[in-house]
Each structure stands twice: as structure tokens, then as C-alpha cells.
Structure 1
Amino acid sequence: MKKILLGILAFSLLLGACKKDDTVNPEDKPDAKLIKVLDDYKSQLTGAQFGWKAYLMPDGGGVYSFLFKFDENERVQMLSDIDPSFEDAAFESSYRLKAIQRPSLFFDTYSYIHLLADPDRPFEGSYGTGQYSDFEFSFVSAKEDTITLEGNYNHSKLLLIKAKSQDEFDDFMGNIQAVAGNFSKLRTYFKRMTVGGVEYELNINPAQKAISFAYSDGGSIKSHSSFFYIDGNNVVLTDPFVNGGTTISSLSGVSYNASGFISASINGSTVQIVEAIQPMSYDLNAASRFNSVERQYISYDGFTRDGNPDSYNIKSIPGLSFLLLWTKYSPSYDLAGFTFGNSIRYGPAVTPQVKSDGKVYYTFLGTLGSIPAAYRSIVLNTGNAFGEEQSGFYVIQVSNNTYDLVSADDARKWIRFE
């Protein structure tokens, strides 16, 4: 019995000698570490003397540019190209840094960045969904001059790039409009450029900052699409294009030449983007897919002419939401309805005919509804724009539900329906 008691005592002493020291340095506690990470991110955000250039890429598509200046009091000043009026009218909001599953940046009072996610007031996208954007973001990576974030709900991408000078900050929005404006100076819908001996057809949408490349490969047409953002006079693709040994990740030094082309540099070589009046390849069945069944398509800008959107000024009509093309509105015609909210008030009636050449030809029959005298010329001009094309329209399918109608006369007039 004595030996057993001595054994227990020795074992107890051994456990006491081996007992782990649970004392933890306060700085090593998980909460303290997380607080330090958040403090470091805040220091980086507020420490940018000249602010941040920013690019938001919603899951619903497009690229939207912002300027941010964060202060120590959790306030942020912002500008945006979502709407022209936001480019020089600074909006102040609050922000917070918070840890959810990952350290996160919250824009927590309603501001420009919320508009793209607002289902009741969509600047782009649809009612009920918005542009599938975000206003709460997790930090993905952070370098000295660049921060990458991802939306916590819709997985939008937000890229912050530190401005290097006040001039760079001040000129940011103007440079975006200048480069986008250069593309609009090309009068035709179809555009071409040659890189590494290969000719590409370009489709450029300056408003959504989208670009696509089409090219011939072994007798078939292949294509690649990407969104882009504009930094200075450079166009940077969010999804670089690779064709064999050629990679196109950006177009640098974009400028317009008065001779009628755009000059840029790709991988150090100068290229020219020129006008073209017909597609490199044409899908003869696209017009039938577009017009064969009753359907409603929306156009926000109406007709573009010589690179100028809304050339017939439909947006000048107060309260107009969009132009709605209702195919098979009646057995004998389509309706191009001027739509206010959910109501079509008036619009041109046009009869479509898809011919064997794969193009659609319209006849302008007249108008429906009571048109205010002040806007009658806008409605009539829109109807005539459909009916005056003697060579019809090419129908270019851009995506599953998006089609562009392009004048087959000279490709200098077009309209997008989605």
C-alpha cells in the first residue's frame, strides 16, 4: 500500500512538472491579430495621400470606375462614372472595416456604389436584381499600391490602385471619357485591326467597357470577349486574349488619328484600328432567331449614328425608361414602344421581313398612341430609322439574349436590343 501511495505521489509530481504554461502574449491572441490586420488595412486605405482609383466589376457585367478618398474617421469621398453627373459631384459616405469570414470593407451608408446593387433603382441591369453588384467586400490581396477585393454576396470584383499624384487623381475621369470618346469617333459598327499578321474584327462597347475579338482559324470563326478598364490612355483587359503565341492584355497609348483610325500599342508594336462596313463572317440565321417569335427587347440608347449613341435624342423625353421592341406585337407588325415605367404610351409600328440573305428589312407603317407634339419628331425619326435602310440590317447576336441591328448600307447606324 505504501508503494502504491508513493507511486501516485510521484505521478502527481510528474504531471505538475510537465503542466503546460497557458500564459499567452496578448498580441498573439486571435482577436488581437485580427484587429491588427484590420488596422493595417485601414492605415493603407487612409494613407494614400492622393486617394485611390477603383474599378468595380459586378457579376452582372460591365466595369464601373470610382475615385475614393478614405479618412481616419471612417468617412469616404467618392466619384464615379456610373452617371456623368457623378464624375465631378463628390459623395460622402461612411465605411467600416469588419471581420466576417475574412477581413472586409463595408460601404455602409447609401452612396454611388450602392446604385449598381439596388434592385429598385437599377442604373444598369434589371428591376428586382440590379447589376448583381456588391457594397460589402472581402480583402483578397493587398500590395503596396494595389488592393484586390471580392464582393461578399454577388462576388463582384473591386480593384483599388493608389493614385501617384493629385493630377493623376484629378484627370482620372476625364481620361476615361477621352479614351471612350476615341472609340466613338470611328463611325462604323464594324472595326478591324491586324496583330502578328492576323486580322481581327473588334466589337467595342465603350459604355459597358466590353470588347470582343473575332478571327478566322482554319476556316472557322473564333472569338474572345472581355471587359476592360481604362487607366490613363491605356485599355486593360480583365480577361487577356490569347491566340497562339500572341497575348493581348492591353492596348496602350490609345489615340485617335484625324485620318480616321485609332492608334495603339500592343506588346510594344503599333497597331491601327480602322473602320469596316461589313462583318468578317455573318450568321444567316441570326435574324430569324431574333424575330421569329413574340418577344420584348429593350434598347436604352436608341439608335447610334456615326458612333454617337442616342442620335435621335430619345433620352431627352422626360420619364422615358427605354425603347421596347415588341416583336409579333400583332400578326403583321412589330411595335417600337416608348416605355415609361411599365407602360408603353406610343411608338412606331414596323413590319419586318427576313430575306434569304439573312438580313431583316423593315417597313415603317406609322405610329400608335398619342404622341406629345414636342416629341413627335423624335418618334418619327426613330420609325424612319427602321424603314429607311434599303439594304436592310445585319442582325448580330452578341449574347444569348442580346442582338445588334446594324445598317447594311454603310454600318454607320445601329441599335442594341437586349
Structure 2
Amino acid sequence: MKKILSYIIPIILLGLVSCQKHDIDLIFGEPNQRIEDTLNIRNKALLASPYGWKTIFSPKGGGTYLFYMQFQADNRVLMVSDLNSNTTVPDTSSYVLRATGQPSLIFDTYNYLHILSHPYNPISGGTGGQGRQSDYEFYFKSVSADSIVLIGVKNQNVMILKKATEEEADFYKNGGISKTISEATSALNRARLYVDENGSQVSVDLSFALKTFSLTRTDANNNEVISSSAFTFAADGLDLVSPLLYNNTPFSKVYWDSTNKQFYLMINGAKVPVIAVAPPPLHTLLDQPEYKYLAVDPPTMPQYGKFNDLLQADIQATTDAGRTYNHFYFNFQPGLSNGANVVFGVTTASSSYWIEYNYYKMEYVDEDVGIVRFTFIGNNGSIPATLRYSKTLRAYFESHTFKIDYSDEPSPTGKIMGGMTCVEEPDVSFYGRFEAVWSNW
């Protein structure tokens, strides 16, 4: 009898356990099905915003970036970002939802978000081969009607998706970021910016390259006090990452008036314009110390069209003489007593440097707009062989008139770019950078 019971009791217990698991599944559902249902609910939440989502994302490795995302039913996501000029163009990639310990959103093909994680520092802007210590796999922290909170799986970065409006979707998907940059750059090019604060001009510095907005004041000891914030692009202007103060009132947005091409603040319901003062004509500044030299370094400043053909002829003549052409320059403040007021110089090198000085009298043909002509006075004793290094350009300068003006070519940090355009042949021009002190640039 005991033997029979010893067999029966385990069978009964096993049956009870089996019944308990079955009953649990009936109540809560089969585990795999529960996971699939949860993922479907999360995906429906991503698809529920008719105009997509926007987020201000700040990875641990630094920087703050705007991302606009519109998730689609075919597991594709359209994305725009203000990370760089290329990412302002909408692009699509794929995404998946998986249960990796908990329901997760994974951007599984390369998109703009992956740039921040790229180990190559020049691409990501990061350090130590870690990128910006960003994430592209996230688990769901919370979901509400208007927002979704995501946490990075690897680096625990927080990403808060907020429902975008129709206006925002239209702005981001139709090149709004690039349009704002283009309009503002054109309208404010080289202008001095400031806001009036109780009769004092508070300087404004706006950098689209760095995405920073700064205010500079002077304290009681005549020291500059700079307050600055990073920003991201919004449909109505710039959203500051950190609030700044105007008249001790904090503000977190700089509005852009696309009609009047002007930035402004809203302080206690009143509009405070960012005033733009256009720079003086370039030719009126040539007596200032920082505008003494206009230097042209051909390897780093490629010239264009016919002017480049003329320049290349001189470079070839220099090469044929067994020397290396370094650069040419204008010195607008030579301090000469021979009737010349400008020096056109060329530097070349082999075992030693040769610096050629050609003395010219620069006269205004039309001083109001900065049109000049050059009359040759003499040089520093060049022989016919060395005169070949600048022969072609000198002949052109001596036989044409030129308008002096600013250049929109990219400039090294802190440098003013300028150049000259031929009046008789307007498609012929050159550009260079201004320097206060001569060196072998």
C-alpha cells in the first residue's frame, strides 16, 4: 500500500502544478503573447502622433541637438536634425521594437542619430573613440498622451519625445532649418548685433556653426561679462538650452521674423528687437591696423575662373625657376615716401625665401563704392628672372580697375575675408584674408 501511495502522490502534485500554470496563463495570457501585445501597444503609441515627434537630445558626451521623427506603419522612421547642414534634409531609416529585458525601441539601420555614436571623432565630434557617448537603442520608461520617455540601453541617455504640431512638422520636413540659417545669414552678414537694455547696447553674438547665442555686457570695472546658451532650431526661431537674462527677466527663446528678417525677444509681452548694424564699406577700413595686409595663400584659398588661370601662370613660372610659390599679398599701409601707397608682394622659396615688393599708387576711381586703379611706381630691385614670379598678375592689375569689397568665402576663426572684383570683367575676382602683422602665411 505504501508503495502505491509513493507513486500516486507525486502524480497528484504534478497535476496540481500543471493546473496552476495553466490557470495563470488563462488569467494573464501566454508570456510570448503578452510581450508581443506590449510591443504592439508601444508601436501604436509611436504611430499615434499625426505630425510626428520632436526631442531635444543631450548625450553624455556633450552637445544638444534637435531631432524630429515621424514613425511609419512599415517600420520606417523619417528623421531631421540640426546636428549639421546635411542632417536638416529629411531621411528615412528603419526601426524595430524588441523585448531586450524590457520593451525597447531600436534604430537598427544607420540614421542621423547614429552620427553621435560614431567612434571616428571628426564625424561624431566626440573624444577617445567613444563618439558623444550617445544611444540608438532605448527602452520605454513611460508613455503618455503627449510624450514618450526613453532611456538609452548603453549610456542611459534620456530622450523625451513630444508630439509635434502641424506647423512644426511642416517646418522640419520642408527645409525650415536651412531656410532660417540662409535667411538670417544673408540678412545679418557681417553685421554687428545688439539689444538695447536701458539705453545700453548689449552685444549679441549668434553662431549657427556652434549653435550658440551670447550676450556681452560691461560691468562697473569695465570688464566684459559674457552669458551664453546653446540653442536648437524651432519653427518660430531658436530654443535656448539654458535661459538668459534681459533686464533681470529670463527668456528661453529667440524669435525669428521671416518677413522682416530680424531676430527678437519677447519680454513680459513686449518685443525687444535684435538690432543689426551693417559694417562700414571695406575700402574705408584699409587704414585700420587689422586691415593692413590682404593675404592670399593659393593652397588653402583656391581661386576661381580666369583669375585662377592668371595666378597659375605665375605659379608655373615660379616652378620652372626651381622655386615654390607661397603666396601673394597687398600691404595697404607700407609707409613709403616714393609716391606709392600700396605694396603688391609675392613670396617664393627654395633653399631661402624671396620676397618681392612691387610699389603701386592706388587711386580711387569711385571712392563712394570703393573702385580703385593701380599705377606701378617701382620694386625692390627684382631682376627679370624674379619678376616672372608675378608678371601675369601685375600686368592684369595695372591694366584694369577693381572694386574692393568683403568676401563670403569661408574664413579662419576671427579673420575678415575680402577681395577685389574687376570692373571691366566682373567675372574675374580674387579673395583673401586680412592680417594685422606680416608673416610667411
TM-score, normalisation: structure 1: 0.52
SS in 1 for 2:165: coil
Is residue 2:221 matched to residue 1:212? Answer: no
State which of 178, 185, 204 in structure 2 corresponds to 1:202.
204
SS in 2 for 1:179: helix
Alignment of 1:15-414 (within 5 A): 26-27=27-28, 39-72=40-73, 74-82=75-83, 84-88=85-89, 90-98=91-99, 104-120=104-120, 122-126=122-126, 128-139=129-140, 142-154=143-155, 156=157, 158-165=159-166, 168-173=168-173, 174-184=175-185, 185-188=187-190, 190-195=192-197, 199-219=201-221, 220-242=223-245, 245-255=248-258, 257=260, 262-275=263-276, 366=347, 404-407=413-416
For residues 131 and 170 of structure 1, what CA distance do their matches in structure 2 show?
29
Q: Cα offset for 1:95?
A: 2.8
Q: Which runs of 5+ in 2 are unaligned?
A: 1-19, 280-299, 305-324, 330-343, 351-411, 419-432, 436-441
Q: Note the aligned Cα RMSD (angstroms).
A: 4.8
For residues 94 and 73 of structure 1, what CA distance do their matches in structure 2 show?
9
Q: Which runs of 5+ in 1 are unaligned?
A: 1-20, 279-311, 317-345, 351-362, 370-402
Cα deviation, 1:88-121, whole Å, max 9, x if unaligned, reads 4532222325455x76432122223212211137
For residues 274 and 80 of structure 1, what CA distance do their matches in structure 2 show?
28
Cα deviation, 1:112-167, whole Å, max 9, x if unaligned, reads 321221113743415734344321235455543333445444555544332333x6
* Matched-pair contact (CA < 8 Å) for 1:255–1:264: no
Q: Cα offset for 1:250?
A: 0.9
Report the number of matched residues: 282
2:430 corresponding residue in structure 1 = none
Q: Cα offset for 1:246?
A: 0.7
Identity percentage of aligned residues: 26
For residues 138 and 218 of structure 1, what CA distance do their matches in structure 2 show?
52
SS in 2 for 1:96: strand
Q: Cα offset for 1:171?
A: 2.9
Q: Cα offset for 1:39?
A: 4.8
What amino acid is aligned across from residue 200 of structure 1 in structure 2?
V
* Matched-pair contact (CA < 8 Å) for 1:34–1:99: no
Seen in structure 2, the aligned counterparts of structure 1 residues 366 and 119 have a Cα distance that, compared at 3 Å, is farther
The structure where helix makes up a greater share of residues is 2
SS in 1 for 2:123: coil
TM-score, normalisation: structure 2: 0.50
Seen in structure 2, the aligned counterparts of structure 1 residues 107 and 208 have a Cα distance that, compared at 3 Å, is farther
Cα deviation, 1:150-192, whole Å, max 9, x if unaligned, reads 5444555544332333x64233252222322343231237521
For residues 217 and 30 of structure 1, what CA distance do their matches in structure 2 show?
66
Seen in structure 2, the aligned counterparts of structure 1 residues 183 and 87 have a Cα distance that, compared at 3 Å, is closer
For residues 345 and 148 of structure 2, what CA distance do their matches in structure 1 show?
53
* Matched-pair contact (CA < 8 Å) for 2:88–2:172: no
The structure where strand makes up a greater share of residues is 1
